[in-house]
Structures are given as C-alpha cells and as structure tokens.
Structure 1
Amino acid sequence: MVGMSSEAPSHPRRRRVLKIALAAALCGGVGAATYAAVSPDGSSLIVPDHDGDDTSEQVAFSDADAGDCLNWTQDGEVTRDIVTVDCAEPHRFEVATREDLSQYPTSEFGEDAPQPDLERQQQLTEELCVSPTTEYLGGKLDPTGRYTISPILPPAEGWAEGDRTMLCGVMVTDADGTAQEVTGVAAGSDQSRFSQVDTCVRATDDTATEVPCDQPHSWQVTKVVNLGDNFTGEWPSVEDQNTWLAGICDAAAVDYFGGGDAGDEALYQSTLAPFWTTMSEDSWNAGSRTVNCSLVKGTEDNTGFAELAGDVRGDFTIDGAAPEQQPERNPVL
C-alpha cells in the first residue's frame, strides 16, 4: 500500500514532507485476485530453443514438483535452457503444485488439443492454482506483494507429444510481466515489493516501474526500512507508521545528500520532499515488513508527482527545468 506522510518533521527549517494520497496498488504489484498467465505459441513463458536439443528442457519441466525451483535464460520473448535449481540459487519460478490437465473433467485437453490460450490459462489458474498455491505458502499471500500466482505449461514440443502437465507456483515479474530472478523460498519470506537505495521509479496510473535515473521518473529511493525494527505483534496503523517513518525518512533525505548541515542545505536547495510507503494490514499479516523512503516533488495541488530526470544528488530537472534557487534561510538556533 502506498502511504502518505501525515505529519511534518520537528526540524524548524524543513517542513516539506509531502502529502499525497495515491491508489493502494501503486507500489504493490498485482493483487491476490489477479494472476499472471502465459500464452503459448511464441509468447509462452516456456519456449524451447528450436535451434538446439530441448530434451533437457522438457525433462526439467516434466520432473518438477512442489518445492522445486526453475530457472531459464531470457532472450527477449524467448526462454531457453530451462533447468531445475536449488531455491537458494537465482530462479524465476517456484513450483507449488503440479496439475495433470489430461485428468480435467472434459475432453478439452485431448490428444490433438492445442495449448490453452491466455484467457483460458487465467481461468485454469483460478480453478486449479490459487487454493493449493496459497496453501503451499502457509496461507499467507501478500495481496500487494512481489509474488504472483502463475501457471506454466510444457514447452510446445512436450505438449505436442502429449504432456498435459501444468505447473502452478509463484514468480516475481516486472512491469512487462517478465519473470525476474530471485533467491530463497517464497513461504515464510518477506513478500514486500520494494526498491533498493538509489533506484529511480516511475509511477504511471497504478503501476510503479523501476527505470534508469536519466529517464523520467517520479521518485528516487533513499532508504530501505524494516517496519519490524520498530513494530512487533499486530499491524501498526498507518498513522503510527507515518509518525515513525516521518523521522526516519526525513533523516534519510538529509543523509542522502551527505548528512549534517551540508546535507540539510542540499536537500533544501533541491526543493524535494521526503516520501514513503506504508504497509497494509493484509500485507503485514502475510509477513511483509519492508517499505521505502524516497525523494519526490509534488505537483502544485499535491495530487501527484512532478517528473524528475537525473540523479537528485547531481544535475537533475523537475518537469524539465533545474530546481529554482531557494532563498537564504536563518540558521538553526
């Protein structure tokens, strides 16, 4: 859930903590009721390398079972070299369960049937994947977290040879739906969707996408914060989170510019404001704890973000122009 600051910091010279209310999905990822599905015939997640021997790919797919992790080489829209790996190593898919579509109570997936299209895959995900995958995760799925419930189908050659396996599991995708490499098992992990320090993020409608800082973006991340460092037990209200994060993210903003009086002055001259995300109750109950502090420039009506370009610690622009020179301030007493 995207948070908004609710209180100004106590520092008498800096009261530009931004107040912006945004859609809850902005920093979240897909919700628990939306699932990534992959279509066959060139746009499938699993596309064999037709120039080589794909037998190993079919074996890796067909032998995969609950708790296994799969990885592959992503080459544009084509995936190659599908292998089963230890989940502690980088991987793109974690298997929660396997379903045999040949046992589906219709003749829909018979010997000559084509692979299901994207719409049908999504229906199958809801029917066959959601419940067992959620159970595999211990009943805890962050609705705005980084993991997406997804199905994958056999490589085209495997399907043509009669393999009707559908693997259900979880993956982390980027804004384009491409599976990203992660490490560790999903169950019991912090499912928060957050960005690393120095990352620039562009917010468009209800989507937040990491981009190079020289491209137009909405905020730049200054700190990764674990809410568990301050809160234990039941979910802390957004008001309580805001109260604590106001001080944390205000200090992070000054430190990001070098700290001390020089960092404070650089922040002032940047005209940017601290901003942070907060955690929803559903996300907290799923075990998520991580949020971001960032720097942004609000629009004049405080309903959105100005467009930044460039690293804020160097030469950067706000809506195409350099930050306006700020008047000299009285010293702190």
Structure 2
Amino acid sequence: MAEERKQQPERRPPSARLTRRALIFVAVGAVLAAVASFVVAGFEGSSDGDGDTGRRVAPTGAVAGEAFGTAAAGDCLTWTALDASDLTKVDCEQTHLFEVVADIDLSNYPGAEWGPGSRFPSVMRFTALRDELCVPAAMDYLESRFDPVGKFSVGLINPGEAGWAAGERTLRCGLQFSSTTGNLLPIQGRVADQDQSRAWDVGVCIGINNGIPADPVDCAKPHAFEVVATVDLSSQFPEGLPSIEDQDRYLEETCTRLVGEYLGDPQALRNKTLTLFWDNLGYDSWLAGSRKVNCSIGKQVEGGGFASITGSAKGDILIDGQPPVAPEPLPEGRSLPSPLPGAFPLPGR
C-alpha cells in the first residue's frame, strides 16, 4: 500500500483511513471536553483558585428539588432550561438527556476537601471525579458492556455551588449522548437495551467548523460530510470481530455500492469530486455489542480536514461556495472508476 501511495501525486488529500482515524480522535476529544463543560454548564460556574472563573449561569436550585435529591441508579432525567432549573425525572422510555448509573455522597470519603465549609470544586476536579468514580460506576451498571468510543459517554451532575455551600455533597453519575461539539442529544430507552454504535441515520449531514466536523445540520447548510449508509458488520462477520483490514476490504466494496444506490448513479460520487470514507470497529466496541458503522461522503482538503459542502449530494452541491467540476470521463471499457484518493484498491486491481 505504501508503494502504491507513493505513485500518486503529492498534492492530494489525506487518505480515507487517516481521515476516519482523525474523526475518531476528534469525536473522543469533543466528548471529553463536553464532560468537562457539562459538569458545570447546567449549574453554576466556579473559580479554579487562580482567578480564572468558569462559565457562569444563574443558580438552578435543582439540588433542592426532588428529582436531583432522590435520583438513583436506573432513573432518567431531563430538562429544557439552559440552567437545568427544570430538571425532572421521566420514564426511561420517554425522551431524556441523562440516565443515572450511581449516586455518590462525597461526605462518605475522608478528607477536608469535602468537609463543611469546603470550597466548591473546579471544573477539572469534577472531571477527575468523573473519571475516578463515574466511569467505573457506568461499567458496573452496564456489566462492562460499554463502548468507550460509541454513541454514549459518561457524565456527571454536581449539586451546584449554592447546594455545595448548603452542605450538599452528592453527585449523580450517568450516561448521556453527546454530539461532536458536546451538546447533549436526546435518548429514548435504556442504554443497556440499545446498540451503542456511534452511527448516524442515513441522510444526516454533519456540520462543519473550521474544517472540523461539528453537529448534525440540515443538508442545505454548510457541512463536512453526509451519511449515505449504515452497515451492520455482524451480517458479514457473524463469528467475531474482523480485523481492520478485513473490515476495510468489505466496506470499500459495500460502501461503494451503497453510495451509488444513494446517489442514483455509480458515477455521481466521482463527478461531484467527493470522497467516500467509512468507520471501523475496535475490540472494545465489538465486546460492548456495537456492530454498525457509517459510510459517508465529503470532500477532503490538503493538509487535513474537510471542505464545506452546501446541499445534499443527491442534488446540486457547492464545495467551498463553488460547483464541483467533473473530471474527464473514464475511458471506454472500464466498468469501475479509479479509486478515489485514499481509497483502498479492490481485490484484483
């Protein structure tokens, strides 16, 4: 493969494999950032002790309410207010934002850090508590069937600065569905009963921010890529986790066929100068029961990242504000187009 790539022009986008790896790292990084912000975003900001004050919102009073005060493992919580002041319990089959996996009373832990009159912890301290206390609790709650790079992430709700000052030391650890930029998306049903694959629905367009994928948007708005198919790998690999190489061989052929069906023309992808790429599943994801991956199309740019696309690829599109210019037609007698930059060659080529 390395020798084949050396024969390609130097001025070309990064490979599809590198792109999808980058997407994974972007998503994971965003989730971690989301956790750090959500610890206080729904409640009150705090100072880290160096004069740097975090994002501040009005006191919620949620800690004084029955929902927060009585939430235990298995309860589902939701809210609509920016400050989460209307936090309530709902049936988990209803739309919600947070499934509680544990309630933790820090006053049971030794040390002056949690004692009467102690200072409200910083965002980074709450993030550390999430890692130390909530992640293990989530693993226990799901009986170790948790996909660390899947659809759901581990979050933490603290009692708020006012509640802390009043002596409240309880935390609520839970599972949430975070978008790439950290916004919480609705969940319906218990996490244990769902496929945790981080696979978007067909037709979803993922927005763009400075060349990096963002949150789902209407395809008429600028976006990084469009999801054209969802593939269940268990249908092809029923006996266990396939290697990345086996996944790639299967997904190149399958995604190529599905994108042609989605666009209504097997030459449309090439004519619109778009790139096909797909996701892979790792051992931890497979162990947790994740089986689905996306086939998506976008426009890679030199140096990494994505061009901005406006419009669904099913119709007319603009790439960075300009209509794409179709390449020269393929020579007669060729039944398949040349692999797009970064795509792996099909067997026999």
Do the structures match in fold with TM over 0.5? Answer: yes
User: How does the TM-score come out when normalised to structure 2?
Assistant: 0.76
Give distance in 2, aligned partners of 1:45 and 1:165.
Answer: 21
Give the length in aligned residue pairs. Answer: 306
* Aligned sequence identity (%): 37
SS in 2 for 1:247: helix
Residues 1:160 and 1:287: Cα distance change in structure 2 (over 3 Å): same
**Structure 1 alignment gaps of length 5 or more:** 1-6, 8-17
Q: Of the two structures, which has the highest relative contact order with CA contacts closer than 8 Å and spacing of 6 or more?
A: 1
SS in 2 for 1:95: strand
Q: Could you tell me which residue of structure 1 aligns to residue 275 of structure 2?
A: 273
TM-superposed CA distance for 1:193, in Å, is 1.4
Q: Could you tell me which residue of structure 2 aligns to residue 173 of structure 1?
A: 178
SS in 2 for 1:218: strand
State the superposition RMSD in angstroms.
Answer: 3.2
Q: Could you tell me which residue of structure 1 aligns to residue 287 of structure 2?
A: 285
Residues 1:207 and 1:49: Cα distance change in structure 2 (over 3 Å): same
Q: Could you tell me which residue of structure 1 aligns to residue 347 of structure 2?
A: none
Contact 1:134 1:140 in 2 (8 A): yes
Alignment-mate amino acid for residue 110 of structure 1? G
1:63 to 2:65 alignment: no
Contact 1:71 1:85 in 2 (8 A): yes
1:89 to 2:90 alignment: no
Deviations 1:19-68, CA, capped at 9 Å, x for gaps: 4413636246337x958141252578997657xxx68x721111111111
Q: 1:162 aligns with which of 158, 161, 167?
A: 167
Deviations 1:218-240, CA, capped at 9 Å, x for gaps: 32111122212222232111121
Contact 1:188 1:287 in 2 (8 A): no
**Structure 2 alignment gaps of length 5 or more:** 5-14, 46-53, 336-349
Q: Please give the residue correspondences for 1:1-333 in structure 2 after superposition, counting only pairs within 5 Å.
A: 19-22=16-19, 24=21, 26-27=23-24, 29-30=27-28, 34=32, 36-37=35-36, 38-39=39-40, 40-42=43-45, 58-75=65-82, 78-187=83-192, 189-201=194-206, 202=208, 209-258=215-264, 263-299=265-301, 304-329=305-330, 330=332
Residues 1:173 and 1:23: Cα distance change in structure 2 (over 3 Å): same
SS in 2 for 1:246: helix
User: How does the TM-score come out when normalised to structure 1?
Assistant: 0.79
Give distance in 2, aligned partners of 1:141 and 1:248.
Answer: 27
Structure (1/2) with the larger helix percentage: 2
TM-superposed CA distance for 1:95, in Å, is 1.0
Contact 1:257 1:313 in 2 (8 A): yes
Contact 1:27 1:208 in 2 (8 A): no
Give distance in 1, aligned partners of 2:56 and 2:93.
Answer: 22
SS in 2 for 1:311: coil
